[in-house]
Amino acid sequence: MSEALPRAVAALPLQPLPTAARWAVLLAASALAAALLQWIRLPAALLLGPLTAAILVQTAGGGIKVPRAFLVAAQAVIGCLIARSITPAIVGGFESHWPVFLGVVALSMAASVAIGWVMSRYRIIPGTTAVWGMLPGAATVMMVMAEAYGADFRLVAFMQYLRVVLVALAASVVALLFTHGAGHHHAGYFPPVNLPHLAATAAVALVGGGLGLASRIPAGVLLGPLALGSLLNVAGWVTIELPPTLLIASYALVGWNTGLRFTREVLRAAARALPQSLGATAVLMVFCGLLAWMLVAFLHIDPLTAYLATSPGGVDAAAIIAASTKADTPFVMAMQTVRVILLLVAGPHLARWVAGTLKPTTPHPEPAAELDLGDLD
């Protein structure tokens, strides 16, 4: 048995390759997958293609990681992308609908906690792992706290990122059904660029991203440029300029960051729990789909916008899919941002409380000194 693992590792096709060659394989696979998904007119193909390629490369022994600086830059760009859509009319709409936002987010959080509690209570997933794995957001915080409480953080990671992938795929299919064609039109991949506007946008991303990192909140590096850029955009002081090639690179980096989390170790640890994880994620997605239906029925929100706003996936994926279709991006991001904030404030405490009802003698975790809060979900 001890010799079987080294032989299996050696048999991985990408294991012997140097890092540069692995990146070349990932780039080529991402381009091919994105082109195929674009050919079938799947929204967010430029995100899902690299994400799919990253999963395949990582499980084939790729063993690479997106540099943190590049990921931070990509998330800041996505924040600027969202900010570009924020207008004074949108701000007024948020003020009119804030009770709905809070209610929908609270219900989705309650559903995720209930599903996790049932899975733990009936030992579908051992220990308190399911409670941490089902919370729809702040994946890095959930993994660190789960490990401190004795849960299997590898299985928590698997459940969290499995949900991110499944929600992104489902949202893209829903977008395909409701858009009936391409999303926003742009003048090719290399349109003329306004350099002063581009410089101002870079300043917004740099300052906003820095403030978000300093705050050390989940998705802070996205929410910082989003908040700063929105304020300046609404005031008319900045025009946000984002060349298509910059957006393509940002989409790819976000997709790689998620896909490369699906290591063989995580997949092995989660193999036995795959049916249960799929089932629990499907239940949560259906519940959030019902919330979306309520938004359509009672507030007359268009179906795609309602689904993206309530989907329990990553903020970045929702932003990219919304921006690549005719969805109401500001409404989607307002709902998703409220969810991130509430999860930040209440999620860990709620998870600890529920875990305490199942395992009352767990120790109190110490704060993580090197906690990376840059991830979006």
| 377 vs 168: which has the higher pLDDT | 168
Q: Out of 31-45, 78-92, 348-362, give the one with best mean pLDDT.
A: 31-45
Residue 374 is predicted with a pLDDT of 44
- For residue 373, name the pLDDT band (cuts at 50, 70, 90): very low
Please give the mean pLDDT across all residues of the chain.
79
Structural domains of the chain, ranges and CATH numbers in brackets:
29-358 (1.20.1530)
* Cα–Cα distance measured from residue 233 to residue 21, given in angstroms and rounded to the nearest whole number: 42
Residue 200 is predicted with a pLDDT of 93
What is the identity of the amino acid at 199? Answer: A
DSSP single-letter state for residue 262: -
* Chain length of the chain: 377
First and final C-alpha spacing in the chain: 37
pLDDT in tens, 234-291: 888 998 999 989 999 998 998 898 788 877 777 777 777 888 889 999 999 999 999 9
| 365 vs 205: which has the higher pLDDT | 205
pTM (2 d.p.)? 0.69
Percent of the chain with pLDDT over 90: 25
Residue 1 is predicted with a pLDDT of 41
Q: Does 74 have pLDDT greater than 80? A: yes
* Cα–Cα distance measured from residue 298 to residue 110, given in angstroms and rounded to the nearest whole number: 21
Q: Does 32 have pLDDT greater than 60? A: yes
pLDDT in tens, 311-328: 987 777 787 788 777 788
Q: Does 180 have pLDDT greater than 60? A: no
* Cα–Cα distance measured from residue 122 to residue 120, given in angstroms and rounded to the nearest whole number: 6
The lowest-confidence range among 23-37, 50-64, 344-358 is 344-358
